[in-house]
Amino acid sequence: MKPSNRARWARPLAALAFACCTFATGASHAAATITIVNTNEPGVGFNDTTPALPVGGNLGTTLGQQRLIAFQHAADLWGAKLTSAVPVRVDAAFEPLDCTATGAVLGAAGAYEIYYDFPNAPRSTTWYPSALASKLAGFDVTLGESPHIIARFNSRLGLFSDCLPGSGFYLGLDRQFGTQIDLVTVLLHELAHGLGFQTFTDDFFGEQVLGVPSIWDYYLVDNHNNRSWVTLTPAQRAATAVSGNGLSWNGPRVTAALPGVLAPLSQLRITGSVAGAAARNYQVGDAAFGPPLAAAAVTGQLMPVVDQGSDTGLACTPLSPVNAQAVRGNIALVDRGTCAFTVKARVVQAAGAIGMVVADNVEGDVAGISGTDPLVTIPSVRVTLADGQALRGALLSRTRTRSGVVASLGIDPTRLAGADTRNRLLLYTPTFYSPGSTVSHYTTEARPNQLMEPAINTDLTHEVQPPVDLTLPLLQDIGW
């Protein structure tokens, strides 16, 4: 960020609202009022007078007006779902943020202050973000002196050659963002963080703020031993943050809503007399293309694609006669790499395969498969590198058309995609540390994709509650 353009968050709120706003701020009239306080100087950001044509229901006539309308729209979507007698103030600005030609900071938001032991606090000695503390107290705990949430977004995005040219914010309200970035979706995500979808405990060291836990922390449970995060030592908390699905959310609202939101857990089941130690159920990543796995499993011999003179089977080009014979009527095992997943699926499908298993080519946790291709009609899944090696090891003594290793692509009806074995929603705790993403987001294994995963997916709607999304139940769990 350019120092000269840093927002002056510490300014008294009243002065900001009076001096900086050249465009009237809006406010919702719903169960909670969330007010966007425009902190931009005249002529820039929300006050940019560049003419703009109406887009996607956004009728602002200048770039600045459209930005503010989109902001207020996202705030109103949240305001309609929450209840509070105390208006939530969001100090907001569009300003130059870090950019390159291929990457950019879209924006940021978060709670400005945290409080504990305020009047009517449900838990003593527990940090709450100021917007939630005000709701619970029944009055503005900041006494009007500070914003509850601060937000700043990139004013240069897509508009300059050094700031992701051609990929600016879509300011429409209708999700028809095409190749642009849907501002409302990003705002819904970021505002949720500011409303309380985050821990204030350091997720790397496990240290609480001044030794006081956050309300968030009471709902985290180590799913290996069912101990609450607040009862763990800092070192234990830090360990759970990189545990690989070791932390779950045990709030009652989220847990009750899970079955109506999440799809059943997909799985690859391997059987057969020659499968040996490879005979078991495998965790898989789902594909965004092709049919989803279903109760009626797709079952066949697992047969590898083998590239001549190589240890891999990439399936990026039409299969050789030998490979085509192997996968025909069977489930193809291919390796990740070189070409798109959809290309691999089309290649093995063209050869007659009835399903595809992609083995990862780097170590790590199981992950999903992206891509879009309506012509793919067979199911596809992805397994880890280690699991792929185990599967290939079981296929060594095969004939040209049979392996004796039977693969079944189906679902586990007792499990939900993104939940632990007790059907509690998993938090994002990959085995590598991801600063700020870890702990304060939902798992990326949830299906359908959730608003509060660390990756903001393009298939998200603007819905924040069941049966589509689980963000609102979590906010309700912590007190909203």
Partner 1 sequence: MSNQKLMTAGALAALCTATVMALPHAHAAGQAGMVVVRDARTGQLRAPNAAEAAALQSPSGQARQAPAQRVESVGPAGSHKVQLGKSALVYSVVTRGADGKLAEQCVGSEQAAEAAMQQPTPAKEPHHETE
Residues within window 367-396 making contact with partner 1, judged by CB under 8 A: 367-371
Give 27 or 34: the residue with its C-beta nearer to partner 1.
34
76, 91, 95, 113: residue in contact with partner 1 (rule CB under 8 A): 113
Give 301 or 342: the residue with its C-beta nearer to partner 1.
342
100, 308, 310, 421: residue in contact with partner 1 (rule CB under 8 A): 100
Peptide bond into 448 cis (omega under 30): yes
Give 164 or 275: the residue with its C-beta nearer to partner 1.
164
User: Pattern of binders to partner 1 over 48-87, x per CB under 8 A?
Assistant: ----------------------------------------
d(CA 204, CA 241): 7
d(CA 443, CA 454): 8
| Interacting span for partner 1 (CB under 8 A) from 78-86, 200-208, 293-301, 319-327 | 200-208
Place of tokens 């009022």: 33
3, 53, 102, 277: residue in contact with partner 1 (rule CB under 8 A): 102
| Interacting span for partner 1 (CB under 8 A) from 48-56, 119-127, 260-268, 396-404 | 119-127
At residue 436, φ and ψ (nearest 5 deg) are 80, -25
Least distance in angstroms from the C-beta of 71 to partner 1? 14
d(CA 473, CA 464): 9
d(CA 55, CA 200): 38
Please spell the DSSP secondary structure of 211-271, one letter per residue: TB-BGGGGGEEETTTTEEGGGS-HHHHHHHHTSSS-EEE--HHHHHHHHHHSPEEEEEEEE
103, 178, 309, 321: residue in contact with partner 1 (rule CB under 8 A): 103
Give me 87's structure tokens: 């208006």
Residue 89 contacts residue 147 (beta carbons within 8 Å)? yes
| Interacting span for partner 1 (CB under 8 A) from 25-33, 401-409, 430-438, 472-480 | 430-438
35 is a contact residue toward partner 1 (CB under 8 A):
no
User: Pattern of binders to partner 1 over 215-254, x per CB under 8 A?
Assistant: ----------------------------------------
456 is a contact residue toward partner 1 (CB under 8 A):
yes
17, 30, 105, 263: residue in contact with partner 1 (rule CB under 8 A): 105
The HSE-up count of residue 463 (CA atoms within 13 Å, CB side) is 13
Q: How far is CA 141 from the centre of its chain?
A: 31
# residues contacting partner 1 (CB under 8 A): 88
Give 137 or 405: the residue with its C-beta nearer to partner 1.
137
Residue 149 contacts residue 191 (beta carbons within 8 Å)? yes
Place of tokens 């291709």: 373
d(CA 233, CA 244): 19
159 is a contact residue toward partner 1 (CB under 8 A):
no
Determine how many CB atoms are found less than 10 A away from the CB of residue 273: 9
CA dist 306 to 4, 117, 268, 309, 335, Å? 58, 64, 21, 9, 9
| Interacting span for partner 1 (CB under 8 A) from 71-79, 143-151, 223-231, 296-304 | 143-151
202, 328, 404, 465: residue in contact with partner 1 (rule CB under 8 A): 202
203 is a contact residue toward partner 1 (CB under 8 A):
yes
| Interacting span for partner 1 (CB under 8 A) from 261-269, 271-279, 401-409, 433-441 | 433-441
46, 78, 94, 112: residue in contact with partner 1 (rule CB under 8 A): 112
User: Which residues, numbered 173-192, are part of the site for partner 1 (CB under 8 A)?
Assistant: 179, 181, 186, 189-190
272 is a contact residue toward partner 1 (CB under 8 A):
no
d(CA 63, CA 157): 13
116 is a contact residue toward partner 1 (CB under 8 A):
yes
d(CA 88, CA 367): 37
